Amino acid sequence: MLALAILLQIFPNVLSCGKLRRRIQERRLLEDDAQEKISTTMPVAKEIQNLAATWKQSGQENIDKQLEAAGLGWAKRKIAVNLSTTVTFSFPDDDTFHVDFTTKVMSKKEKFSISKVTKHKNFLDEDVESELFIEDGHLVMVTRGGSPGEIRTVRIVEGDKLTIKTTVVKKNVTGIRYFERQK
């Protein structure tokens, strides 16, 4: 592949009209396919499988400050802060983290890729990108690209308790929500 790339740079005019260029493109497609296969056959890591459940919020700390740091206006915060939330997490396949989130006034379903960056909208309706990874046995999501800057969400499961910590990184403000597993 590297040799072909070098050839392409040295002899661009020769290749631009030839079959070789097509073959390079075909080969690239094959390589992309192969990479996708590798990532989708990787099983969901054991340490995060216990997230898959329905969770009902039982408490919270500092959510108003965190929403303010994330750019949510006063009126919306007054509503959002007091909403008790139910969230269902699942892994419909080995590369998908599915979040189904409901409150009294809204609900939202979102899908995130575990191996790749996912493009989506944040709660301010801005285009953002989220990346998932496992750190210290917990699922971490880092969202970038919106006006609040980087948002880091850590989901910690201990038995039937879930703690979700959301940090507005540039302001170093963290809000915490506590949940209990629903049976």
Ligand X SMILES: *[C@@H]1O[C@H](CO)[C@@H](O)[C@H](O)[C@H]1NC(C)=O
Interface residues for ligand X in 61-100 (CB under 6 A)? 82
By CB under 6 A, the residues from 114 to 173 that bind ligand X are: 172
* Shortest distance in whole angstroms from residue 82 CB to ligand X: 4
Q: How far is the CB of 28 from ligand X (least distance, A)?
A: 42
Q: Is residue 41 at the binding interface for ligand X, with CB under 6 A as the rule? A: no
Give 13 or 74: the residue with its C-beta nearer to ligand X: 74
SS3 call for 30? helix
155 Cβ contact list (under 8 Å, min separation 6): 51, 89, 138, 139, 140, 141, 162, 163, 164
Q: 41 or 172: whose CB is closer to ligand X? A: 172
For 67-105, give the secondary structure using H, E and C: HHHCCCCHHHHHHHHCCCCEEEEECCCCCEEEEEEECCC
Q: How many residues bind ligand X (CB under 6 A)?
A: 2
* Residue whose CB is less far from ligand X, 13 or 172: 172
Query: Residue type for 4, please?
Result: L
Nearer to ligand X, 44 or 140 (CB): 140
Nearer Cβ to ligand X (37/170): 170
Question: Shortest distance, CB of residue 149 to ligand X, whole angstroms?
Answer: 14
CA distance 133 to 90: 16
Query: How many CA atoms lie within 13 Å of 157's alpha carbon, on the beta-carbon side?
Result: 19
Q: Which residues bind ligand X (CB under 6 A)?
A: 82, 172
